[in-house]
Amino acid sequence: MGVHPALAALLQHAPVLTDGAWGTELQKRGLPPGQPPESWNLTHPDQVRAAARAYVEAGSEIILTNTFGANRIRLADAGLAEEVGLLNRRGVELSREAAGSRAAVFASIGPTGKLLMAGEVTAEDVRAAFEEQATALAEAGADALVIETMSDLQEAQLALAAAKATGLPVVVCMVFDSGRERDRTLMGDPPELVARTLEAAGADVLGANCGQGIEGFLPICRRLRAASSLPLWIKPNAGLPQLMDGRPRYTTTPESFAAHAPALRAAGADFLGGCCGTDPEFIRALRRVLDRA
């Protein structure tokens, strides 16, 4: 299976620089803890657009959208289930306005927040929720879809099937932060099984994001590359947060984070960016290191 045509041009200049965190970035801009970030697509569009633009100006070649939790199941907890279409469309529009012709817009799809194996939600409900979200994102003009921060391979497969139906390229990223070596998903799946399963299910790009600092991503990246020839998407956290004054703080510096970029590239990473705790300064630091490599 070859590279999706829509990704081929980007990958000619790999590693492709993606963006950093959205949730922690919007909190810096005033988003109250516990409030769905996606609600700001309607109430604070200027702040969402500004966050996206900051990544473009820092050097991101791909930016995501403020739609991570914009599925019906997750939004229901905040009373926003009926705004699914509008929140997702606005998320794409705001990132597109910020990107202009300088960056591609890959739309974010996160987990439902409910456990399938615990019976909190049915597979059919999950599939329908992802179909609704993916359709709205595709119709709004996203260049690709990024299923991210998944801890359950079954849920990831349901999201992938829904996303593939749009015809857009699909990235699927799991969180590897469990087990003695912190190299398994919450459900106990190792990188090799994840890679084989998602490639067989039609993913265009595989990856890992969140869960731990950048040091822990090197062996995971190597193992994903050994198990699959698909392009790899890697977005680590800025370390693990420490509680300071009652709020989580990330202590990894942009420079120490970016210092790992050459090793990750050598391990097979085709797309590089950051997750929780990273910001435009981390992207600038990555850009400097990658330009020197």
b/e code 209-219 from CB counts within 10 Å (16+ = b):
bbbbbbebbbe
d(CA 280, CA 79): 32
d(CA 82, CA 244): 37
Beta strands in 154-272 (DSSP E): 170-174, 205-213, 232-237, 242-244, 247-249, 271-272
d(CA 142, CA 94): 11
- Amino acid sitting at position 177: D
pLDDT above 60: residue 291? yes
Angle at 77 (CA atoms; ends 71, 80), nearest 5 degrees: 60
pLDDT band at residue 141 using 50, 70 and 90 as cut-offs? very high
CB within 8 Å of 187: residues ≥ 6 apart: 117, 151, 152, 153
Q: Distances in Å between the alpha carbon of 265 and those of 158, 172, 211?
A: 30, 19, 20
pLDDT at position 211:
95
Interval 150-208: pLDDT, tens: 999 999 999 999 999 999 999 999 999 999 999 999 999 999 999 999 999 999 999 99
pLDDT above 70: residue 1? no
- Report, as an integer, the average pLDDT of 252-256: 97
Answer yes or no: are the C-beta atoms of 212 and 237 closer than 8 Å.
yes
Beta strands in the chain (DSSP E): 16-17, 62-63, 104-109, 144-150, 170-174, 205-213, 232-237, 242-244, 247-249, 271-272
pLDDT band at residue 57 using 50, 70 and 90 as cut-offs? very high
* Domain 5-292 -> CATH class: alpha beta
- Report, as an integer, the average pLDDT of 61-82: 97
d(CA 14, CA 12): 6
pLDDT band at residue 249 using 50, 70 and 90 as cut-offs? confident
Eight-state DSSP code of residue 195: H
pLDDT at position 293:
75
Interval 270-287: pLDDT, tens: 999 999 999 999 999 999
What is the rounded end-to-end Cα distance, in angstroms, of the chain?
29
pLDDT at position 220:
98
Mean pLDDT of the chain: 96
| Sequence ranges of the domains in the chain | 5-292
Answer yes or no: are the C-beta atoms of 266 and 289 closer than 8 Å.
no
pLDDT at position 241:
86
Q: What percentage of the chain has pLDDT greater than the value 70?
A: 100
pLDDT at position 282:
98
pLDDT at position 162:
98
Tokens of 259: 């210092």
pLDDT at position 128:
98
Answer yes or no: are the C-beta atoms of 151 and 189 closer than 8 Å.
no
User: Phi first, then psi: what are they for 207, rounded to 5°?
Assistant: -175, -175
